[in-house]
Amino acid sequence: MKKIILLLLISLTIQSCGIYSFTGGDTGDAKSFQVNFFQNNAPIIEPGIDRNFTLALQDLIQNQTNLELTNTNGDLVYEGEITGFAIAPMSATSDQTASQNRLTVTINVRFTNNLKEEDDFEKRFSFYYDYSATQQLTGASLDTAMEEIYERITQDIFNASLAKW
């Protein structure tokens, strides 16, 4: 009798753990998601950021949910475009030159939940990376900047679409 009760308690515990998500994301009844290519429509074109952002968003959702990535007919669909890629001076020195610059990336996202239309939205997400004005934002330094920006924007998109923050 004790074994049956113990087995019942263990099975209930395991079953109830399937409902909880450590990331705070609620996928509801969705089984799949789709991330369409985010076209780069920014006035300044930086080659490859469209592909890299699309992959970063796919990776984040795959890593934080149990949803299956699909190319068509996803229960959850992410699409949009990169609308901004801008560098601006942030602080000046005493001789009126920039001492720090800021790279800002803005992405317009359309989220469609094909199972729950009231969750649909279209929003702009933006984040920045500050760097020294003496530094050239190319190669590894550009990669570092973009990784930090992508990490923040993709997490913000995840929070808006699945965590409802």
Contact 74, 87 (CB under 8 A): no
CATH code for position 97 = 3.30.160.150
What are the CA-CA distances from residue 83 to residues 19, 43, 114, 125, 154 (Å)? Answer: 37, 8, 25, 10, 15
What is the count of structural domains for the chain?
Answer: 1
Burial of residue 107 (CB within 10 Å: 0-12, 13-18, 19+) is buried
Look at residue 76 and tell me if it is in a domain.
yes
Q: Would 128 be classed as within a structural domain?
A: yes
- Helix axes 49-64 and 139-158, enclosed angle (nearest 10): 50
Q: Is 104 within the bounds of a domain?
A: yes
Q: Is residue 8 part of a domain?
A: no
Q: Examine residue 116 and state whether it is found in any structural domain, yes or no.
A: yes
Q: What integer best gives the mean pLDDT of the chain? A: 87
- What is the reported pLDDT for 22? 46
Residue 19 lies in a domain: no
Report the pLDDT averaged over residues 54-74.
97
Q: What is the mean pLDDT of residues 118-139?
A: 94
Q: Is the pLDDT of residue 11 over 70?
A: no
Q: Which domain holds residue 108?
A: 26-163
